[in-house]
């Protein structure tokens, strides 16, 4: 079965996001339906940099903020997959839930849906999976300060 939509590899993501390793939290984004949805993935190895410095003595884990970052990076890739210039947005709302930790090697998968895009406001929802098990979700609101008119 042929996959639908755009795909972005790591080099294209670096160009769009203006983020490089180690803070590039997604290796690729596939099945992108421009400004609607997409799926980001990242391979996690046992020797990742964050395991060496986050609860390293007792139980190293991937910080939740980096998991949120993977959701946000996937969202921006979905919004700008076809664009040459990424506009700057402010994150005005971020709500996340975590159900399980990431503490071993495996694959992160982030499913993103853009639920609203109107007058410089974008709302998205994301689900994050690790080794095919849902471990968290997030909802985000962004504003484009250029398009936002405050009276």
- For the stretch 85-99, what's the b/e string if a residue is b when 16 or more beta carbons lie within 10 angstroms of its beta carbon? eeeebeeeeeebeee
The active-site residue out of 28, 36, 54, 101 is 54
CA distance readout (Å), 97 to 19, 77, 100, 127: 25, 22, 10, 10
Environment class of 22 (CB within 10 Å of its CB; exposed 0-12, middle 13-18, buried 19+) = exposed
Told to judge if 54 belongs to the known catalytic residues of this protein, a careful annotator would answer: yes
Catalytic annotation, residues? 54
């Amino acid at each position: 079965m042929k996959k639908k939509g755009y795909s972005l590899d790591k080099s294209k993501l670096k160009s769009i996001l203006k983020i490089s390793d180690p803070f590039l939290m997604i290796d690729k984004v596939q099945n992108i339906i421009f400004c609607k949805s997409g799926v980001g993935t990242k391979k996690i190895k046992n020797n990742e940099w964050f395991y060496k410095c986050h609860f390293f003595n007792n139980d190293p884990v991937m910080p939740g903020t980096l998991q949120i970052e993977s959701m946000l990076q996937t969202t921006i890739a979905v919004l700008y997959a076809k664009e040459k210039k990424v506009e700057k947005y402010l994150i005005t709302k971020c709500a996340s839930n975590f159900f399980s930790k990431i503490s071993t090697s495996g694959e992160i998968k982030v499913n993103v849906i853009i639920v609203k895009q109107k007058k410089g406001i974008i709302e998205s929802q994301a689900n994050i999976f690790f080794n095919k098990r849902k471990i968290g979700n997030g909802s985000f609101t962004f504003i484009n300060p250029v398009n936002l008119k405050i009276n």
